[in-house]
Structure 1
Amino acid sequence: MNTSAPDEGRIDTEVRGHLLLITINRPAKRNGFTPAMYRQLAAAYTRLDDEPALRVGVLMAAGDHFTAGLDLPTFAPLMQRGEQAAPAGGVEPTEPGMAGYRRRQKPVVVAVKGITYTLGIELMLAADVVVAADNCRFSQLEVKRGIMATGGATLRMAERAGAGNALLHLLTGDEFGAAEALRLNFVQKVVPPAQVEQETLQIAEQIAQQAPLAVVATRLNVLKAIEHGPLAAMEEFEATQQRLSRSEDAAEGVRSFVERRPAKFTGR
């Protein structure tokens, strides 16, 4: 993977087994996102869902920081025109439920470190599991720039931490650390900076070893419960379980149990 990046930045991708490693690469600008970078990130997320051999995405960043957020001078014209940076028809990385975009099916695990502002928080809240370095500096500071967070922070911060905790950080735009992010359920693990990528990859590899159809179904059922309530999620139990139990992977799961060996899942 090439670690040098042009001034406008880019998103690098690398396939490692069943993982798609996605790296934000503009360290000279604290990985601030340009529209071109956001389009590339959307393409990487879409690729994750489209390629059957890929099972888990891993979002990381080059340099000392995850991202300072949007490069506002380059994004302001799009905001003023009401345009989206991600092309319609694919996966929108923050997935706030806008029409015209696909719902991501496969899980994404994120490693955050250093400065993790605005879009950085929204990307990690839209993902599935987040490992944070203990040097993280978080801020959802859109109110300090005269705009509103529209990548899901107003939805997911309240869902994870309650309205009061969400509004504390959304309305002040203050900076908080990894311990506060863990308290608010914004991240799942906090480790030293030198360990953050290794820990993230370990979690992603562990997910990738499980039955892919069951992983996707489980993830989507959790989202259904969050977005539509427990009853809506429960309504899917029987049909989903019947579908999964007829799969080759379910048969392999039974064989591996009987034979007392690790299962070898194919996603079929």
Structure 2
Amino acid sequence: MEETWIDRPLPGVARIYLNRREARNALNQAVREQLAEHFRKLGADPSVRCIVLSGGTQVFAAGADIRDMAERGAVEMLLRQTHLLWAAIADCPQPVIAAVNGFAMGGGCELAMHADMIIAGRNAVFAQPEVRVGVMPGAGGTQRLTRAVGKFQAMRMLLTGMSVNAEQALRMGLASEVVEDDQVQLRALELAEQIAGLPPLAVKQIKEVVLAGQDASLDTALMLERKAFQLLFDSADQKEGMRAFLEKRPPTYSGY
């Protein structure tokens, strides 16, 4: 059985499923490699304008597969070069929406934080509990969590391994929206469909500038924004969008 798979539920939308139900979608090396390959392929596909990442209706991902690493040594972990696999997700040019039902723990929480939006069901639980098994987050948990919720909330979660529910995650800035559990997939697809109907060059530039600007000075980030804004005036979609607005008709975006 494939541990991940892809479907195309809507025009311009691809959905990646985690499919290790017996292991609560724990992230072993094979799953990480498959996810990286999916994101590389979809990222290079111009017909894909938004990606939904889902673990199904019961659990998103319960974390790294402890059985896969419990007896590993430092050199073995180094040689796995898992940072390159995570980078394939982080570098995906299309917006990514994580649809989170149930547990998003450890590596599962880190995986969700690689997305650009997180839609959480009311039963969702987020945590970075690595400290409780003698290690620490190793796929961005200390850095992405801090950027999302601030130092003091991040330290509370990281140093104690405590979990937060969906409403707490929303208040902290770790989730974009909270919906009923049976609406998570539908809401994620609804947002993905909306994004897929917008001009893809503008969408990609927004994502790129927001992410690059987070680690830049304000002056540098504003310069990136200004240059991207100006660049879009050489696109066919800018002409189509503004003409359609003036002519009071729906635009048709080509992606150019």
Q: TM-score, normalised by structure 2?
A: 0.92
Counterpart residue number, 1:83: 79
How many residues are aligned here? Answer: 253
Are 1:68 and 2:62 an aligned pair? yes
- CA distance, structure 2, for counterparts of residue 43 and residue 185 of structure 1: 29
Per-residue deviation, 1:241: 2.3
Bigger mean CA offset, 229-238 vs 44-53: 229-238
Matched, 1:92 2:88: yes
Structure richer in helix, relative to its length? 2
Task: Choose 21-30 or 67-76, whichever is displaced more.
Answer: 67-76
2:227 match: 239
Match for residue 141 of structure 1 among 113, 122, 129:
129
Say whether residues 1:13 and 2:6 are aligned partners.
yes
Q: Distance in 1 between matches of 2:87 and 2:213?
A: 21
Residue 218 of structure 1 is matched in structure 2 by 206
Asked whether 1:166 is paired with 2:154, we answer: yes
Q: CA deviation at 1:142?
A: 0.6
Give the alignment partner of residue 205 of structure 1, picking from 193, 199, 203: 193
Q: Which amino acid aligns with 1:232?
A: T
Matched, 1:125 2:113: yes
Matches within 5 A, 1:181-200: 181-200=169-188
Q: Decide whether aligned partners of structure 1 residues 89 and 33 sit closer, same or farther in structure 2, where only a CA change above 3 A counts.
A: closer
* Residue 143 to residue 198, structure 1, CA distance change in 2 (3 Å): same
| CA RMSD, Structure 1 to Structure 2 (Å) | 1.9
The answer for the alignment partner of 1:3 in structure 2 is none
Q: Distance in 1 between matches of 2:66 and 2:28?
A: 8
The AA in structure 1 aligned to 2:130 is E
Alignment of 1:19-30 (within 5 A): 19-30=13-24
SS in 1 for 2:215: helix
- What secondary structure does 2:18 align onto? strand
Q: Deviations over 1:212-247 (max 9, x none)?
A: 000111111111221113211111234322321111
Give how far 1:111 is off.
Answer: 0.5
Deviation at 1:85, TM superposition (A): 5.6
Q: Find the aligned partners of 1:89 and 1:187 in 2 and give their Cα distance.
A: 24
CA separation in 1, counterparts of 2:158 and 2:34?
Answer: 28
- For residues 238 and 133 of structure 1, do their structure 2 counterparts lie closer, same or farther at Cα, with a shift above 3 Å needed? closer
Q: Which runs of 5+ in 1 are unaligned?
A: 1-5, 96-102
> 1:100 maps to which residue?
none
Asked if the contact 2:55–2:61 (Cα under 8 Å) also holds between the matched residues in 1, the reply is yes
Taking the aligned partners of 2:50 and 2:100, their CA distance within structure 1 comes to 17
Would the aligned equivalents of 2:25 and 2:55 in 1 still touch at CA under 8 Å?
yes
Deviations 1:15-65 (A, max 9, x none): 231111100001111111121111010111111211111111100113511
Give the secondary structure class of the aligned counterpart of 2:183: helix
TM-score, L = length of structure 1: 0.88
% identical equivalent positions: 31
Cα 1:135–1:47 change in 2 (3 A) is: same
Q: Stretches of 4+ moved more than 3 A in 1?
A: 75-80, 84-91
Task: Give the gaps of 5 or more residues in structure 2.
Answer: none
Larger RCO (alpha carbons 8 Å, 6+ apart): 2
1:253 corresponds in structure 2 to: 241
